[in-house]
C-alpha cells in the first residue's frame, strides 16, 4: 500500500488543485465563468506557444520551458565546477568558491536578472563574428547564476554523503583527487543527487516567470498582452490559467522527486 502513496498524492493533487482553481474561477466570475473559459480556450494557443495558430513554437509557456532547459544546462556545468571548488582541499580554491556560492545564494533573482541585463554587452565579437545577445539569452544567464549556487550545494552534499572510506581506498590505489572524484565518488553520488537536482530544476522552472522583466515573450508577458487586448475582466481568469500551467508542469516533478527520495532512503 505504501508503494503507491506518491501515485495517490499525485492523482489527488492534480484533481484537487484543478477543482480548487475551477472553484476560484466560479467564485470570482459566477455565471459568466463559461464565457471566460471559452475566451481562455481561444487564447490557449497564444499562451502556450506564442503564436495564435500553433504555427510556430518558442513563445509563451514553451519559452519558459525552453529557457529553463537552457539555463539548467548552464547550471549543470557551472554548478559542478563551483561544487568541485567547494570541496577542494586547497583554501585558495575553496574560500572564493564558498564566498561566491553564498553571494549567489543570498541575492534576489530579480536583482541578478536586472544586473545581467546591464552587465552583459549588447553584442560580442568572437573570432571575427559578431554575435547578438538577445534579452532571452541574458535572461538565461541571469537565471542560471543564482541556481548555480543551489546546484553546487547539491553537488557538495552528494559527494559528502559518500563514506570517506571510498576516498581513502581510492587514494591507497594511487588515484589523484580529481580522478577519485571522476571515477569513484561522483558515479556513486549521482543517484543520491538526482532528487535534489530535480528540485533545483523545479525551482529554476518556477523562477522563469521572472524573465517577464527582460522583455522575453514568456507566458506572463503574453498574459499581459491578452489582458490588454481582451479586457481587464479576463485578468483573474488568465492568472488562474497561468498558475495552472506552471502547476501541471512542476507538480509531477515534485511528486517524482519525493518518490525517488523515499526509494533512496529505503535502499540505504
Partner 1 sequence: MELDFGWLADPLYQQWLLRGVGTTLLLSALGIVLMLIIGILGAACLHFKLPVLELVVTIIVELLRNTPPLVQLFFLYFLLSEIGLSLTDPATGRSIPLFTGFTCVVLSLGLYNGAIAVEIIRSGLLAVPRETIEGARSLGYTRLQIFRYVELPMGLRLTIPAMTNNVVSLIKTSSQAVLVAVADLMYYATQIMLENFRNLEVMVLIWVIYILIATFAVLVIGRIAAATRIPGYGV
User: Which residues are at the interface with partner 1 (CB under 8 A)?
Assistant: 12-13, 16-17, 20-21, 28, 103, 105-112, 114-115, 117-119, 202, 206-210, 212-213, 220, 232, 235-236, 239-240, 242-243, 246-247, 250-251, 254
Q: How far apart are CA 14 and CA 150, in angstroms?
A: 28
Cβ–Cβ under 8 Å, residues 140 and 68? no
User: Please, which residue, 82 or 218, has the CB nearer to partner 1?
Assistant: 218
User: Please, which residue, 166 or 236, has the CB nearer to partner 1?
Assistant: 236
User: Please, which residue, 148 or 186, has the CB nearer to partner 1?
Assistant: 148
User: Please, which residue, 28 or 225, has the CB nearer to partner 1?
Assistant: 28
- Minimum CB separation of residue 29 from partner 1 in Å reads 10
Cβ–Cβ under 8 Å, residues 68 and 208? yes
- Minimum CB separation of residue 60 from partner 1 in Å reads 14
Q: How far apart are CA 252 and CA 70, in angstroms?
A: 20
Q: How far apart are CA 122 and CA 114, in angstroms?
A: 14
Q: How far apart are CA 175 and CA 181, in angstroms?
A: 9
User: Please, which residue, 254 or 260, has the CB nearer to partner 1?
Assistant: 254
- Nearest to 84, CA basis, from 171, 177, 7: 177
Cα three-residue angle 64-204-86, rounded to 5 degrees: 145
Q: How far apart are CA 110 and CA 214, in angstroms?
A: 10
- Minimum CB separation of residue 191 from partner 1 in Å reads 23
DSSP structural state of residue 163: -
- Minimum CB separation of residue 239 from partner 1 in Å reads 4
- Minimum CB separation of residue 41 from partner 1 in Å reads 19
- Minimum CB separation of residue 146 from partner 1 in Å reads 8
Cβ–Cβ under 8 Å, residues 242 and 47? yes
- Minimum CB separation of residue 100 from partner 1 in Å reads 12
Which cell is 201 given? 530544476
User: Please, which residue, 192 or 212, has the CB nearer to partner 1?
Assistant: 212
User: Please, which residue, 13 or 215, has the CB nearer to partner 1?
Assistant: 13
> Cell 463559461 belongs to which residue?
34
Q: How far apart are CA 163 and CA 249, in angstroms?
A: 35
Cβ–Cβ under 8 Å, residues 35 and 28? no
Amino acid at each position: 500500500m505504501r508503494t503507491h502513496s506518491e501515485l495517490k498524492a499525485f492523482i489527488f493533487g492534480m484533481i484537487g488543485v484543478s477543482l480548487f482553481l475551477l472553484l476560484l474561477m466560479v467564485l470570482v466570475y459566477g455565471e459568466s465563468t463559461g464565457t471566460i473559459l471559452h475566451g481562455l480556450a481561444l487564447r490557449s494557443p497564444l499562451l502556450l506557444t506564442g503564436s495564435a495558430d500553433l504555427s510556430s513554437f518558442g513563445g509563451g509557456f514553451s519559452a519558459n520551458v525552453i529557457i529553463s532547459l537552457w539555463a539548467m544546462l548552464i547550471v549543470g556545468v557551472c554548478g559542478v565546477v563551483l561544487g568541485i571548488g567547494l570541496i577542494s582541499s586547497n583554501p585558495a580554491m575553496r574560500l572564493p568558491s564558498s564566498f561566491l556560492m553564498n553571494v549567489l545564494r543570498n541575492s534576489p533573482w530579480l536583482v541578478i536578472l536586472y544586473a545581467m541585463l546591464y552587465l552583459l554587452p549588447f553584442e560580442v565579437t568572437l573570432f571575427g563574428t559578431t554575435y547578438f545577445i538577445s534579452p532571452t539569452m541574458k535572461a538565461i544567464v541571469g537565471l542560471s547564476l543564482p541556481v548555480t549556487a543551489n546546484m553546487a550545494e547539491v553537488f557538495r552534499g552528494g559527494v559528502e554523503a559518500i563514506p570517506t572510506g571510498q576516498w581513502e581506498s581510492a587514494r591507497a590505489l594511487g588515484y589523484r583527487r580529481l580522478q577519485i572524484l571522476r571515477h569513484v565518488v561522483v558515479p556513486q553520488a549521482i543517484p543520491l543527487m538526482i532528487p535534489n537536482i530535480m528540485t533545483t530544476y523545479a525551482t529554476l522552472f518556477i523562477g522563469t516567470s521572472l524573465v517577464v522583466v527582460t522583455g522575453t515573450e514568456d507566458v506572463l508577458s503574453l498574459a499581459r498582452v491578452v489582458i490588454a487586448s481582451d479586457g481587464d475582466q479576463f485578468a483573474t481568469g488568465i492568472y488562474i490559467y497561468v498558475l495552472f500551467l506552471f502547476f501541471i508542469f512542476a507538480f509531477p516533478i515534485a511528486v517524482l522527486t519525493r518518490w525517488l527520495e523515499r526509494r533512496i532512503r529505503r535502499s540505504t
